[in-house]
A and B are shown apart, each in its own frame.
Chain A
């Protein structure tokens, strides 16, 4: 057992640091500092910078434009991005759809879509969940009926993140309702500009617009936009779910979060003392950091196939997701505790923040409440933590 990095790894780390220092857009850095909302163009801008460097898709095979990095290098890269608090490129195209296309897509689909995903030319969103099909995703009802060389799609998707910005949506749809529910699902790529698609915003409890309902009313989709075979969509989607084995833990982001918490606690003087000297608070911070250390080394063990007795059951991401999401929530919870009253001013609330509506207190509290509310999502989406526990109980423990 030796966890030290090689000389090569150290040099790689330096290279990544240097790249972020010189190339990460100053605009985005400022926005993050000021707690401003990011626009679509911000994500695209950062992705273009990464693309130009050849680093937009570290986990892709080299033939498609990946980096050919070792697992350790990928880890270092993620860690450096986290430490620098760069904008998180959204996973829908690069991490969720692309692996499915690579594995099951037609030559046309690979040739046309993958390059556009890499450059950010197409913004993808994920159309899985439906009002009646959340945890029980396989019970989805949005239907696709063949008509000539097209499918006619009817139904609705919900909780679709950033559908308001999307050029395309990848959807699970029902193509056969006579068989076992998992066996009648197909995987379709749908152009958001197709007539019959309506997007309705859902405002979340933090006052933000991130998720949407997407309605399909006789939407015509060419059959060539079906991925793989008809009725095989469930299998494809499941492969996708276990594809990203690490990264679900969000360790680097939480590390950065804890560093900022300490910085803010140190700045916050109460009763003439820094809050970091408050025994309760510093204990809670320490406990959080200890839990994160355990998670980090679990993450590394998964990376090295040394988890769950090397059984490789496919449940590793579930474990990382449970602990990772809980830690992310605790970071925001502590942020709110540290800011106290200053976290009360609402950000992106129902009222426009007029010029005289400004954050209170020592400044950093701006948005702490909103962040805390927003992060409640992390134990719900991507398969709720209850569902992840069910998966582990079944696949690892055989219960």
Chain B
């Protein structure tokens, strides 16, 4: 039994943590959030230079062969820093799909360009009716000579406005809810027939509604096997879920620390509010919720390469628990800060908003409790 981190992992943590400390204070972050683009290309290039974009990829494509624990460490630190740049979307989520399901040629073509920071990816999987059901897909890809024709609409595509390439889930056969018949495509965002509506999200990020109208795709754009994309998608989504759990853990840690500092500093009735037992107990409960979140995130991350059912069960356990603790810690941190917790000027509200979004993302608490129950009954 060993829960310690390797030297390499400690190095990743230190690297990201230094970056955040020196360059990603709240003011700097908000400047990026409020800029026209909404992210920083310079930071993205720095991530590339620091090797962060290479961590999970195979050596033959220029990657560092890192494990899920390696990226977990990075995601945790990004969570602490409320990093807006699309590491999760590009490296973990789309990168995960490419790594698991891409052909050798596809990997050769795209992974080195992700690693160098040259291109950003987004995964377009949700539709306005789909909620958390990954198989609920109306978007269609019809076979035609030497390729496909893509038609449909995707909703809340995170990092959509910044992406150069999209991984799109589409139906090549079957009906709306069937897992069989789901296929994945790698699509150049500049292709004819694609239009985007971009907007800011509640946590300071950006997303797009994307519509595809008779978009012509070549055979080479198919990722994995036709009609059999669902398992690939789900495997990548589970990895993505574990990664945002880690991000939430980082955010919760920062939020607890900030709140602890605050209750020692803020005085009312002539004493620090941390002197009130009511506040003390809540700081303790928040701490316990945080430690539980760490435990369950480790558990899920360590099960990502286990047999499918175990992976699914572990990830759903983690995502359900994280949703609960994220909501609890977020709400309490705001409450304990009083009016200050309501302002946009403190980082407290920004952590709370990101945690709220993580709770809903890729399946909320109810969804994952249900999935866990179905798998364990």
Q: Which residues of A contact B (CB under 8 A)?
A: 129, 132, 134-136, 139, 158-159, 202-205, 207, 211, 268-272, 278, 280-281, 336-337, 340-346, 349-351, 353, 356-358, 360-362, 369-370, 372-373, 376-377, 379-381, 384-386, 389
Contacts and interface: CB of A to CB of B under 8 A. Distances in A.
Nearest to A203: B344
A211 to B, nearest CB: 8
14 contacts: A134-B268, A205-B344, A211-B339, A271-B136, A281-B366, A337-B360, A340-B360, A341-B361, A345-B200, A350-B33, A360-B156, A362-B129, A376-B331, A376-B342
B133 interface: yes
B202 A369 contact: yes
Nearest to A390: B278
Nearest to A158: B339
A337 B197 contact: no
Interface of B: 30, 33-34, 126, 128-133, 136, 155-156, 176-177, 197-202, 204, 207, 209, 267-270, 276, 278-279, 331, 334-335, 338-339, 341-345, 349-350, 352-353, 356-357, 360-361, 364, 366, 369-370
Contact of B344 (A135, A207, A362): A207
A148 to B, nearest CB: 35
A59 B290 CA distance: 48
B197 A373 contact: no
Nearest to A370: B202
B202 A345 contact: yes
A346 B338 contact: no
A373 B339 contact: no
Contacts, number: 156
Contacts of B201: 344-346
Given A129-B339, A344-B207, 19 more contacts: A158-B339, A205-B343, A205-B352, A268-B131, A270-B136, A271-B133, A337-B366, A341-B131, A345-B200, A345-B207, A346-B201, A360-B128, A360-B207, A373-B349, A376-B334, A376-B335, A381-B339, A384-B335, A386-B276
Q: Does more than half of chain B's interface fall in helix, strand or loop, or is it mixed?
A: mixed
Contact of A380 (B341, B345, B370): B341
Contacts of A370: 202
Contacts of B331: 376
Contact of B268 (A136, A350, A377): A136
A380 B197 CA distance: 37
Contacts of A380: 334-335, 338-339, 341-342
Contacts of A211: 339, 342
Nearest to A270: B131
